[in-house]
Each structure stands twice: as structure tokens, then as C-alpha cells.
Amino acid sequence: MTMIIEVKDLVKTYGRKRALDNVSFTLNAGSPIALVGPNGAGKTTLFSTLCGYLNADSGSVSIFGHKPGSDGLFGRLAALPQDAQLDPRFSVSNQLCLYGQLQGLDKKAAENETHRVLELVDLKDCFHSKPHELSHGMRKRICIAQTLLSHPEVVLLDEATAGLDPVNAREIRNLVRTLQSDTTFILSSHDLVELDDLCDQVLHLQQGKLTAVDRIAQAELATLTVKLKETGTHGHVEQLKTLQGVENVSLNASGAILIEYRSGQQVDIDVLQLCRAQGWHYKSLVNGKTLEDELFG
Ligand SMILES: Nc1ncnc2c1ncn2[C@@H]1O[C@H](COP(=O)(O)OP(=O)(O)OP(=O)(O)O)[C@@H](O)[C@H]1O
């Protein structure tokens, strides 16, 4: 596996505020990585430090062996800042072609590249548009298109789907899925369902401190999350505990039922049969815990 980012003992303070508090982690190339945490946890500060927009007080960041912001990362790392804006004075093509040229493409190649990335975000007809002619969601997709110029190997998306309607948000998730075999995405979002769906690895920041949750590594006990139309009760829990292979059953904060069972056993059919036999109104059954349960359960 190719290591893309190594962060060691990173500290960033604003005055007396420790926004990043001895953060260390390594990330390998591969499926999308989620960066989560409550407001003020330090996510944007971490992104800005990885991009070289901010200098840390101490600690180190190495991206493909380079320091953030160095020439060696040109075209390899791209980022969508949380508050990214297009310049209202220039057309989409003017702006994207300029960025392409800044990355070393000649005019024609930058134009071709602009057409390619606009097609990726399904906005190929907006080549000549001015930003004010576009909706908020379209402008956001153009900004994402900009990050994809020259096929970067790593793309950081800070709240890429915030404020978007469900259709636009889904388009962006689909785009990440489509490109994930060539590009490693690191996504920050407050939408845990969205990240749950896309990401295999989670970086959880809280008050500047990091807990890395590697979801792939969990092995010995597997989890099923069952939602019933009715809220889960102690009675459901006790019945489910009687099933063969089941080690533990609990309820989460929203009334879904978490069933832990020995890996390798198949309990889902038994669970469904029990639901039917008991007349429980089964709504959904998902392999694994939801991201919310993993982080806060
Ligand atoms: N320029 C700044 N000056 C002073 N304090 C700052 C500055 N930028 C961020 N902070 C503080 O650093 C902490 C981390 O902020 P940051 O924006 O990185 O959090 P975040 O996790 O991205 O939050 P959100 O989810 O709300 O975007 C917060 O307490 C914030 O108030």
C-alpha cells in the first residue's frame, strides 16, 4: 500500500486556543477517508495545514515525502476549502483553464482538461457560464471540478456537500465513488450517513485531539444494525440474545438494535425469521455499525 500522508505530533494554536493538539496519523492510498468531529474540532485547521495554507507550530507533515505547499505536490494534491468561491468576474472556462495553466498545461491542454472535469461533474454545458448564472450547487460542483484538474492523487474535500440539495449531494458522492480507484479522497462532513456510505476509514477529531478509527480492521465480532418500525425495547433485545452465535445485543440512541455476533456465523436470516415469528415490523438490516454508533455509541 502506498503511504500518502504522515502526520507526527502536529500542534497548531491560535493565541491560547489549541486547535490541533499533538495529532499523529498515517494514511494510505485507497478508498475514501472521513474526517469527522463537532464544530470547532479542528478539521479545517487540519486540512489547511495539510494544504500548506497554515503553518503548524510544531510537529511534521509529509505528503508523498514532501512538505505541504511544496512544488513536488503540484498536481498531486488538490483541495476544496470549506468556503471556496469562484471569481464572479470570470467565466468558468477562464478560471479553470487558468488553474490548468498554472499547473503547467499549455492553453489547449488546459482547455481540454477543463472540458474533461466539467463533464465529470455533469456540467459540460457551463464552460462559458459566469458564476452568477449558476446555482449554489452548480458552483460547488465547478469548484470540485477544479480540484480534479490534472488527475491529482489525493483530493481533500472540506464539507463538499454542505448546503446542497439531495440530488446535488448524491452526484458528488457518486463522483467520489467513480474516481476512488485513481484518487484518494479525504472528506470532512457533518453528514455521518454520507460518510458511512463512502468511507472505510475515519479520522475523528475532538477538541483538536485525534482518534483514528480503522473500520476495516474490526474483525472478531461482527455487528448487524436492525431497525424496526417500532422503537427497539428490552423485550426485543432479550429475544435476539437467544439466537445462536449472538454475543451481545443493545439499543442505540435512536432505538435501532445492535447485534454483535461471532464473525463467520450467519445470523441475518435467523434475525429476519425471528422478526417474522414475533410480528415485529422490520424496516432495515445493515451489516456493521453505523458510523454514528461507532463514534458515539
Ligand atoms: N483564525 C482563527 N483565529 C482564532 N481561532 C481560530 C481561527 N481559526 C479557527 N480557530 C479556532 O480553532 C478551533 C478549530 O477550528 P476549525 O475551523 O479548524 O474547526 P472545524 O472542526 O473545521 O469546525 P467546523 O465544523 O465548525 O467547520 C475552533 O475553536 C476555532 O474557534
Asked if residue 84 and residue 163 are part of one domain, the reply reads: yes
Ligand 1 proximity of 83 Cβ (cutoff 6 Å): no
Q: Which is the closest atom of ligand 1 to the Cα of 82?
A: 27
Ligand 1 proximity of 42 Cβ (cutoff 6 Å): yes
Asked if residue 46 and residue 153 are part of one domain, the reply reads: yes
Q: What's the pLDDT at 247?
A: 87
Ligand 1 proximity of 45 Cβ (cutoff 6 Å): yes
Could you give phi then psi for residue 276, rounded to 5 degrees? Answer: -65, -45
Give nearest CA residue, ligand 1 atom 2: 14
Pairing of strands 221-228, 282-287: antiparallel
CB 202 within 8 A of CB 213: yes
Asked if residue 247 and residue 101 are part of one domain, the reply reads: no
Residue that terminates a domain, selected from 151, 183, 214:
214
| CA 23 to centroid of ligand 1, rounded, Å | 15
Asked if residue 249 and residue 148 are part of one domain, the reply reads: no
| CA 38 to centroid of ligand 1, rounded, Å | 11
Asked if residue 33 and residue 154 are part of one domain, the reply reads: yes
Ligand 1 proximity of 50 Cβ (cutoff 6 Å): no
| CA 278 to centroid of ligand 1, rounded, Å | 50
- CATH code for the domain in which residue 264 is found: 3.30.70.100
- Among 18, 23, 45, which is best to mutate for testing ligand 1, by the most ligand atoms less than 8 A from CB? 45
Q: What's the pLDDT at 217?
A: 43
Q: Cell digits for 170?
A: 448524491
| CA 17 to centroid of ligand 1, rounded, Å | 9
Asked if residue 36 and residue 144 are part of one domain, the reply reads: yes
Q: What angle do CA 198, 283, 187 make, to 5 degrees?
A: 15
Q: What's the pLDDT at 187?
A: 93
| CA 126 to centroid of ligand 1, rounded, Å | 34
Residue that terminates a domain, selected from 214, 237, 271:
214
| CA 40 to centroid of ligand 1, rounded, Å | 5
Ligand 1 proximity of 40 Cβ (cutoff 6 Å): yes
Asked if residue 253 and residue 181 are part of one domain, the reply reads: no
| CA 44 to centroid of ligand 1, rounded, Å | 7
Q: What angle do CA 117, 189, 31 make, to 5 degrees?
A: 60
Q: What's the pLDDT at 265?
A: 75
Asked if residue 227 and residue 104 are part of one domain, the reply reads: no
Give nearest CA residue, ligand 1 atom 28: 40
Asked if residue 265 and residue 129 are part of one domain, the reply reads: no
| CA 153 to centroid of ligand 1, rounded, Å | 27
- CATH code for the domain in which residue 196 is found: 3.40.50.300
Residue that terminates a domain, selected from 155, 180, 214:
214
Q: Cell digits for 267?
A: 445470523
pLDDT, one tens digit for every residue, the chain (297 residues) = 789 999 999 999 999 999 999 999 999 999 899 998 888 999 999 999 999 999 999 999 999 999 999 988 988 999 999 888 999 999 999 999 999 999 889 999 999 999 999 999 999 999 999 999 999 889 999 999 999 999 999 999 998 888 888 888 888 889 999 999 999 999 998 887 778 778 888 898 989 998 766 654 444 677 888 899 988 899 999 999 999 888 889 998 888 899 988 777 778 888 889 999 999 998 888 777 777 776 666
The answer, yes or no, to whether ipTM is higher than 0.90 is yes
Q: Domain range for residue 184?
A: 3-214
214 vs 1: CA distance, rounded Å = 15
DSSP string, the chain: --EEEEEEEEEEEETTEEEEEEEEEEEESSS-EEEE-STTSSHHHHHHHHHTSS--SEEEEEETTB-TT-GGGTTTEEEE-TT----TTS-HHHHHHHHHHHTT--HHHHHHHHHHHHHHTT-GGGTT--GGGS-HHHHHHHHHHHHTTT--SEEEEESTTTT--HHHHHHHHHHHHHHTTT-EEEEE-S-HHHHHHH-SEEEEEETTEEEEEESTT--SEEEEEEEESSPP-HHHHHHHHTSTTEEEEEE-TTS-EEEEEETT---HHHHHHHHHHHT--EEEEEES--HHHHHH-
Residue whose cell numbers read 458552483 = 139
Asked if residue 266 and residue 204 are part of one domain, the reply reads: no
Q: Cell digits for 269?
A: 436470516
Asked if residue 171 and residue 37 are part of one domain, the reply reads: yes
Asked if residue 171 and residue 38 are part of one domain, the reply reads: yes
Q: How many domains, in total, are found in the chain?
A: 2
What are the C-alpha distances in Å from 199 to residues 2, 52, 196, 225, 263?
A: 18, 24, 6, 18, 21
